[in-house]
């Protein structure tokens, strides 16, 4: 494709995005909902939410940002509430007790109003240039976009032990479910609202296995799922959220329940 053709195609994509955005605005709903799960992130919360908003509003003027704050004890709740009072596009969903990541995300997904739902970890391990790519893929007709640290083209900086563990886990998921997805647990995903609504009540896990379960269920319903290779940097503070035996048990339980 020549440079003129590429320029025309880029212009056409921007035009289609503008038309889609306008149609959603005319319907009185935001085009994009960005969901940020938060637990005890007071040191980075304000700066990272503002950074996310600066990126999103460069893509669409029709958006909402939902901080789903899950029983924080370090003042994150007060920061999130203040930000929501300062900016009507920022919404704070608070839980007085810890729900777990999966339950918090389910709460936010049911609340949000956007036709495209994006969720990302508040540590912003994923390079934010991928936000535009993700939204573009949903606009083009994909039901689900899964950020991937393992797909060809990904650029990842993390300890080799974590890479091996991630590869082994995702290989096991594919052996059990044949879903063809490279990276089920990465905290950067996008959904078409209609697809999300079809499975959200069926997802039973309330913690970190939620990420895998929702993708498996979406694939089982034959929704279009595409991998998006990421530039991704391991956070300086990173925790194994659930032990490998617990994750294995949950995988087997899901396999026999479907």
Cβ-based burial of 52 (10 A; exposed 0-12, middle 13-18, buried ≥19): buried
Task: Give dist(CA 120, CA 116) in Å, integer.
Answer: 13
Q: Is 211 tagged catalytic?
A: yes
Which of 70, 183, 205, 211 is flagged as catalytic? 211
Given a contact cutoff of 8 angstroms between Cβ atoms, the answer to whether 185 and 212 are in contact is: yes
The sign of the CA dihedral 237, 242, 245, 249 is: negative
Q: Which two tokens stand for residue 225?
A: 């799922």
Residue carrying structure tokens 């007709």: 141
Angstrom CA distances, 90 to 37, 50, 65, 70, stand at 13, 10, 5, 16
Angstrom CA distances, 64 to 50, 113, 145, stand at 12, 8, 19
Task: For residue 152, give the nearest of 232, 219, 227 by alpha carbon.
Answer: 227
Given a contact cutoff of 8 angstroms between Cβ atoms, the answer to whether 146 and 227 are in contact is: yes
Name the residues annotated as catalytic: 211
């Amino acid at each position: 494709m020549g440079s003129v053709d590429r320029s025309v195609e880029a212009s056409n994509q921007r035009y289609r995005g503008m038309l889609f955005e306008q149609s959603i605005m005319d319907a009185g709903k935001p085009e994009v909902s960005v969901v940020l799960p938060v637990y005890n992130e007071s040191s980075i919360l304000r700066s990272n939410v503002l950074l996310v908003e600066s990126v999103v509003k460069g893509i669409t003027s029709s958006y909402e940002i939902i901080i789903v704050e899950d029983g924080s004890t370090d003042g994150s709740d007060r920061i999130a509430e203040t930000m929501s009072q300062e900016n009507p596009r920022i919404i704070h969903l608070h839980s007085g007790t810890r729900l777990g990541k999966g339950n918090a995300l389910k709460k936010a997904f049911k609340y949000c109003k956007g036709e495209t739902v994006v969720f990302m970890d508040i540590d912003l391990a994923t390079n934010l240039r991928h936000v535009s790519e993700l939204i573009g893929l949903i606009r083009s007709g994909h039901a689900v976009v899964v950020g991937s640290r393992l797909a060809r083209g990904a650029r990842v900086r993390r300890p080799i032990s974590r890479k091996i563990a991630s590869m082994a886990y995702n290989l096991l998921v594919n052996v059990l479910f044949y879903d063809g997805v490279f990276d089920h647990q990465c905290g950067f995903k996008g959904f078409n609202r209609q697809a999300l609504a079809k499975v959200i009540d069926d997802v039973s896990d309330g913690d970190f296995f939620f990420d895998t379960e929702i993708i498996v269920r979406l694939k089982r319903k034959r929704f279009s799922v595409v991998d998006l290779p990421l530039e991704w940097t391991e956070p300086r503070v990173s925790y194994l959220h659930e032990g490998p035996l617990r994750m294995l048990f949950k995988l087997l339980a899901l396999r026999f329940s479907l």
